[in-house]
């Protein structure tokens, strides 16, 4: 029988051997950071290193609010995060993740800075259900420290598990980010009972490079996740409702750009190679220094996905529509239109702000080692308006390699 061959590096190898080498490489990658495990210890039971690396290139081609054409290209270390997590004292977990890259290669004053910038996570959690053995609960965690405040479907998945090249600007608008675009300090209780998971938290608007305090605004957050996959005609069927309300003045540090409140409704449905994730959300921008950026907002994101080849090649689509009451109540992501606006004084994109925005995205993801090593590529068309006048119309395309363990 003829031997099937494939090319790896500089050598021809049998396809069966090639598959075995790839499987071994992926197993080693997934387990690379696991350097300590001692379940019998009463102090430290496990410890694991964390790394998230993402390098990205992008190009934008469009026209500004005067019809002036423009194009620009970008290359950046999108993410370099390192961290440590583990279990200790039998009932406790810890997680610390530091952002060590500050790549401004795409800005007018180009520079790349390395070293600790801010914590993406820094928290401890207590496994109260294991400690108290509460009837009727599958889990009960009490936590304190810096963590993510998730609202949209795209934020329910971490940056390492993302399906698109970038989260939609609407998903980012709902995110509870601090003034340095990091994750804030919080105290929370999260529990699961059967199909239902509840998460309640208080977030602090006070910004700090480290843990921070409670001197500024407070956000009161609650969410419910219902997993109805078992027993349904779908392999995946989930509903998620989340809400937050912010209590703080414009003179204080605030989260989510100062949003007063937001309500998000998420559905995830899937069967076989197909899945559809959707987010419908509403909110209010709260008090702003510019009244054109206040008022209500709302939007919808639909993300259909299809596995062309199981666990290897995925086609991803996304449609976004968002609308705001005021002329600058919405803002595009910093990648890449606002950057092009800053770099070229001849164009005017209104800093990526407007009151109506539509975007269509089509992407193709190749998974070398599942979510742990993949190439994410996509192209997006944006149409941004303010008072019915077009501020931006154009295409953005890019690709990135993402690795984590």
Give, for all 405 residues of the chain, the pLDDT tens digit: 343 334 344 444 566 667 788 889 999 999 999 999 999 999 999 999 999 999 999 999 999 999 999 999 998 898 999 999 999 999 999 999 999 887 655 566 666 778 888 888 999 999 999 999 999 999 999 999 999 999 999 998 878 889 999 999 999 999 999 988 889 999 999 999 999 999 999 999 998 877 879 999 999 999 999 999 999 999 999 999 999 999 999 999 999 999 999 999 999 999 999 999 999 999 999 999 999 999 999 999 999 999 999 999 999 999 999 999 999 999 999 888 888 888 888 999 999 999 999 999 999 999 999 999 999 999 999 999 999 999 999 999 999 999 999
Q: Could you tell me which residues come within 8 angstroms of residue 198 by beta carbon, excluding any fewer than 6 positions away?
A: 190, 191, 192, 222, 223, 224, 225
Q: Specify the number of domains making up the chain.
A: 2
Are 26 and 55 members of one domain? no
d(CA 205, CA 171): 19
Are 43 and 153 members of one domain? yes
C-alpha pair distances (Å), 222 with each of 150, 151, 199, 204, 225 = 10, 10, 6, 15, 10
Are 144 and 228 members of one domain? yes
Are 237 and 383 members of one domain? yes
Model pLDDT, residue 341: 85
Are 17 and 57 members of one domain? no
d(CA 33, CA 405): 6
Tell me which residue range forms the domain holding 13. 1-30
Are 26 and 168 members of one domain? no
Are 171 and 199 members of one domain? yes
């Amino acid at each position: 029988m003829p031997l099937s061959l494939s090319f790896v590096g500089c050598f021809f190898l049998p396809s069966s051997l090639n598959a075995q080498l790839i499987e071994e490489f992926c197993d080693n990658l997934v387990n690379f950071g696991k350097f300590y495990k001692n379940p019998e210890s009463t102090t430290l039971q496990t410890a694991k290193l964390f790394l998230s690396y993402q390098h990205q290139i992008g190009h934008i081609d469009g026209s500004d609010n005067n019809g002036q054409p423009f194009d620009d290209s970008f290359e950046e270390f999108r993410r370099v995060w390192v961290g440590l997590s583990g279990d200790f004292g039998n009932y406790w977990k810890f997680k610390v993740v530091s952002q060590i890259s500050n790549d401004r290669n795409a800005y007018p004053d180009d520079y790349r800075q390395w070293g600790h910038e801010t914590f993406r996570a820094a928290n401890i959690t207590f496994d109260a259900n294991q400690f108290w053995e509460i009837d009727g609960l599958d889990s009960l965690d009490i936590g304190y420290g810096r963590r993510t405040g998730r609202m949209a479907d795209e934020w329910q998945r971490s940056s390492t598990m993302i399906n698109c090249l970038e989260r939609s600007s609407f998903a980012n608008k709902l995110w509870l980010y601090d003034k340095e675009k990091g994750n804030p300090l919080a105290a929370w209780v999260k529990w699961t009972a059967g199909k239902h998971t509840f998460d309640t938290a208080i977030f602090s608007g006070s910004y700090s490079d480290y843990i921070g305090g409670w001197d500024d605004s407070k956000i009161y957050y609650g969410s419910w996740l219902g997993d109805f996959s078992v027993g349904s005609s779908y392999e995946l069927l989930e509903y998620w409702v989340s809400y937050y309300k912010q209590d703080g003045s414009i003179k204080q540090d605030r989260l989510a750009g100062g949003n007063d409140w937001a309500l998000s409704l998420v559905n995830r449905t899937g069967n076989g190679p197909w899945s559809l994730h959707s987010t419908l959300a509403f909110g209010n921008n709260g008090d702003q220094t510019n009244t054109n950026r206040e008022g209500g907002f709302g939007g919808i994101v639909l993300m259909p996905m299809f596995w062309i080849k199981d666990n290897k090649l995925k086609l991803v689509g996304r449609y976004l529509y968002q609308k705001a009451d005021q002329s600058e109540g919405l803002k595009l992501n910093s990648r890449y239109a606002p950057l092009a606006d800053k770099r070229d004084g001849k164009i005017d994109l209104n800093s990526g702000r407007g009151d109506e925005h539509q975007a269509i995205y089509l992407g193709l993801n190749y998974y070398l080692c599942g979510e742990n090593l993949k190439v994410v590529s996509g192209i997006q068309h944006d149409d941004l308006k303010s008072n019915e006048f077009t501020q931006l119309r154009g295409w953005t395309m890019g690709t990135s390699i993402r690795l984590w363990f």
